[in-house]
A and B are shown apart, each in its own frame.
Chain A
């Protein structure tokens, strides 16, 4: 999508958004009886702090499908919670649909639909229709309008014939559909989706992604999708922000992000039963590369582990790497040179892994 800078309209904009949490240590049952050592006493005077968001500045255009990609603990959910006013940031602010999250909380809440926390955020003892009607009243919709809207959404989600069953009898995927329907009740211009496909099987995940895409393309909604599935971010999003340890390290469209890793800079080897010290061993064989990382796969299900070599002269050390692996009796199943994924971009930019299983 091309935008002229003069006419740029931002639905979501954050300004230096920062959020810190103090770490709590539990000393055990009789911890209060134990005398603290001097070091521990000094530490307790200055408690450790987790920086969940570190001066985050992002701008999301109106109608854009924006991805927030990062591993667990990166700060995605914290950012979503700050934008939805569930959490008050320590520093900075954000503007959602033109309303400040600190000063105009009611209007921010009226402007957005939120999907967070999965299936447990609904009343399982109520039917799908009852759940949606209730939340419609909380979004201050007139009753007649709410009824029509609820029927429309149940039809869209293909759950009309099960609308009067309790959610406790639904599958996880069906509950997630109702959670998304809830977010759409009041037709908000902005949607915040936190891990919308987490825990869903591939069929449901595909359905939900299709729906998200439609909402953006056909209905012009501004959508922020927080996810640790790189495929999801890659397929869905116009632009992706990579976040790690509370910091946004890169923002661009997926293709441009992937081009940060040159074809010669990436070698991916799928293998079985690599030893634990393989990263160190290969790094010593290829000192010029930037990163050697092992991502464990679920080998019992036939998913091999992956060794990624990124940066420097990765392509040139292919033969050295293969020799090194053979000497360690590692069974190689495939070799891939130069087709970077967002995960490779993430690893290159942060040095950390996105997921252990390599995502979905």
Chain B
């Protein structure tokens, strides 16, 4: 076989690896339709207490104190958008981050890692399947929000919002890749994902504007991709700003994405080598 033919078959086979991984994970997801419906609807209900709390404390649907920091007095759409984007955090941390551990638990990790393909494409396939499922859930949650929580969506902001979400996904999966790398070695993926979820829970402006946190917490919050995604999406959808208005947030997302993805891939390869040497790859 000629060298060019090998390269061509390699490109084709790499695409096939990504495609196979994507299809496999989607089959797992769709094998449990109840799980699918759950993730499509429930994350919204987790924010109902905040909505009711707001109404109880303020006595209405708007708060001027809130507007001074958030830029908008309508706290309900503010929270609901936070809920929708936050669901990407959950699915990426627990989905992607634990995907490696699930392979070990099923007993298939040894076979995957001993295959001749580049593992990066397997991870890309996993990331794509998680992104696709997260987006399906987000669309469903957005539809519910438009119907019940007063969110407005115009055609002109769809593309910019999608662009921001893609940047968010890249950043989250970079972090999830770091988690996946650590879980090869430290076997407690769920613990790591859970701990990182707590960080997002407190320091990301999911339920309140970033400015309401103390300065040291704001600095911490600014290390998270979700922070910039939330600021950007809320500016676009609630404050009706254009994409150029949020160029700083877009730039910050690009930088964070680049760093976490590079670190994630490097760390994953390094950890894979270390665990292969220690022989603990398939332990769970």
Which residues from chain A sit less than 8 Å from chain B, CB to CB? 26, 29
> Given the complex, which residues of B lie within 8 Å of A29, measured CB to CB?
26-27, 30-31
Q: Which of B23-62 contact A (CB under 8 A)?
A: 26-27, 30-31
CA–CA, A29 and B26, complex, Å: 9
**Which chain B residues have a beta carbon within 8 Å of chain A's beta carbons?**
26-27, 30-31
Nearest residue in A to B33 (C-beta to C-beta)? Answer: A32
Distance of A123 Cα from B75 Cα, bound (Å): 48
Chain A nearest Cβ from B22, distance in angstroms:
13
Which residue of chain B lies nearest to A28 when distances are taken between CB atoms in the complex?
B27
CA distance A26 to B30 in the complex (A): 12
Point out the residues of chain B lying under 8 angstroms from A26, CB to CB: 31
Residue pairs across A and B with Cβ atoms less than 8 A apart, 5 shown, are A26-B31, A29-B26, A29-B27, A29-B30, A29-B31
- Give 5 nearest A-B pairs by CB, closest first: A29-B30, A29-B27, A29-B31, A26-B31, A29-B26
Closest residue of A by beta carbon distance from B283: A168
- Write the nearest CB–CB distance from A31 to chain B, whole angstroms: 10
Once bound together, how far apart are the Cα atoms of A29 and B31, in whole Å? 6
Residue of B with least CB distance to A30: B30
| A301, B30: Cα distance in complex, Å | 42
CA distance A26 to B31 in the complex (A): 9
Residue of A nearest to B30 (CB): A29
Min CB–CB distance B176 → chain A (angstroms): 25
Considering the chains assembled together, what is the distance between the CA atoms of A153 and B31 in angstroms? 46
Q: Determine the chain A residues whose CB is within 8 A of the CB of B26 once the complex forms.
A: 29
A344 to B26 CA separation, bound complex (whole angstroms): 47
CB nearest to B23 among chain A residues: A29
Question: Of all chain A residues, which has the CB nearest B29?
Answer: A29
Tell me the nearest residue of chain B to A26, going by C-beta.
Answer: B31
Cα–Cα, bound, A26→B27 (Å): 12
Residue in B closest to A168 when the chains form the complex, CB atoms = B283
Q: Measured between C-beta atoms, what is the minimum distance from B284 to chain A in Å?
A: 10
CB-CB < 8 A to B30: which residues of A? 29
- Once the chains are docked, how many angstroms separate the CA of A29 from the CA of B36? 12
> How close is A86's CB to chain B, nearest CB, in angstroms?
24
Which residues does chain A contribute within 8 Å of B31, judged by CB atoms? 26, 29
List the B residue with the shortest CB-CB distance to A32: B33
Bound complex: CA A268 to CA B1 (Å): 47
Closest CB in chain A relative to B251 CB, distance in Å: 41
Shortest Cβ gap from A275 to chain B (Å): 30
Q: How far, in angstroms, from A26 to B28 measured CA to CA in the complex?
A: 12
Give the distance to chain B from A198, nearest Cβ to Cβ, in Å: 16
| Chain A hits for B27, CB < 8 A | 29
Q: Closest CB of chain A to B204's CB: distance in Å?
A: 33
Minimum CB–CB distance from A28 to chain B (whole Å) comes to 8
